[in-house]
């Protein structure tokens, strides 16, 4: 069964909308753990639109499961990661004008930028995952650079319906096999929800799914613990 990483960024989004103290992502993480989360995921963006520097440190000190920090290859963010030492960092692309991460990291085109960041993080004892589109050349480069996990971008799969979605699923399955063939841990995420997660969770040797928006949205109705529990049931 794939493990569930719960992304709590949008708890911080609500807090930052008022520049307030609540809701506190630390409490959200604790409730997510009670619901069965195997991992807590946060994205420290360069513009600090939701998660803040302090959140990273406090969550590292309080979370009892794996902490996964999503981040760009920006030097100041890398320095924060090396100080906080989450168990895992997932390197992602980042554009200031985007609402959410729009695609996978181009490790082929940005090899010279990504390679030293991977080494710096790994030297700090942090496991490194790379958020990639399901493209063979990107996966091959991730393996060459020594990435320990690849998180396949499931955004296009989530957007499509019917036959088009099945085509996207086939791409994910094929890419997933390539990841596994390289001895790299297979993760997936982006746009997954209670309706579409099943087929992705069933991909052979899937290790971890990272899901945020749909769980936080459900939590507004039923509470974080219950929302996470319901998603965990779909992965079992």
Residue 173: other Cβ atoms inside 10 A:
16
- Structure confidence by residue, pLDDT tens digits, 205-214: 999 999 999 9
Residue 43 has pLDDT above 80, yes or no: yes
Question: Catalytic: which of 10, 94, 190, 208?
Answer: 190
- Structure confidence by residue, pLDDT tens digits, 91-106: 999 876 655 556 899 9
pLDDT, residue 100, reads 55
Residue 77: other Cβ atoms inside 10 A:
21
* Packing angle, helices 75-84 and 53-62, rounded to 10: 20
Catalytic annotation on 43? yes
- Structure confidence by residue, pLDDT tens digits, 132-170: 999 999 999 999 999 999 999 999 999 999 999 999 999
> Distance between CA atoms of 173 and 63, rounded to whole angstroms?
32
- Structure confidence by residue, pLDDT tens digits, 195-230: 999 999 999 999 999 999 999 999 999 999 999 999
| Helix/strand/coil for 21 | coil
Least confident range of 17-21, 67-71, 96-100, 169-173: 96-100
Instruction: Identify the DSSP state of 48.
Output: -
pLDDT, residue 47, reads 94
- Class of the CATH domain delimited by 3-235: alpha beta
Question: Catalytic: which of 3, 10, 33, 43?
Answer: 43
Segments making up each domain of the chain, as ranges = 3-235
Catalytic annotation on 70? yes
């Amino acid at each position: 069964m794939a493990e569930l990483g719960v992304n709590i960024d949008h708890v911080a989004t609500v807090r930052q909308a008022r520049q307030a103290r609540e809701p506190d992502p630390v409490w959200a993480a604790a409730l997510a753990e009670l619901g069965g989360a195997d991992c807590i995921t946060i994205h420290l963006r360069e513009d600090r639109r939701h998660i803040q520097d302090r959140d990273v440190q406090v969550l590292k000190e309080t979370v009892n499961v794996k902490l996964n920090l999503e981040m760009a290859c920006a030097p100041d963010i890398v320095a924060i990661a090396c100080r906080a030492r989450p168990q895992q960092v997932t390197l992602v692309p980042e554009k200031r004008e985007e609402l959410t991460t729009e695609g996978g990291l181009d490790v082929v085109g940005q090899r010279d930028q990504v390679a030293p960041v991977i080494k710096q993080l790994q030297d700090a004892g942090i496991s490194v995952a790379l958020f990639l589109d399901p493209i063979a050349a990107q996966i091959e480069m991730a393996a060459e650079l020594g990435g320990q996990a690849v998180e396949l971008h499931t955004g296009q799969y989530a957007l499509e319906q019917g036959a088009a979605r099945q085509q996207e699923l086939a791409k994910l399955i094929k890419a997933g096999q390539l990841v596994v063939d390289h001895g790299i841990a297979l993760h997936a995420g982006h746009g997954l929800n209670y309706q579409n997660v099943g087929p992705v969770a069933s991909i052979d040797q899937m290790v971890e799914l990272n899901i945020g928006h749909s769980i936080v949205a459900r939590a507004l109705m039923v509470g974080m613990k219950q929302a996470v529990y319901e998603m965990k049931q779909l992965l079992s």
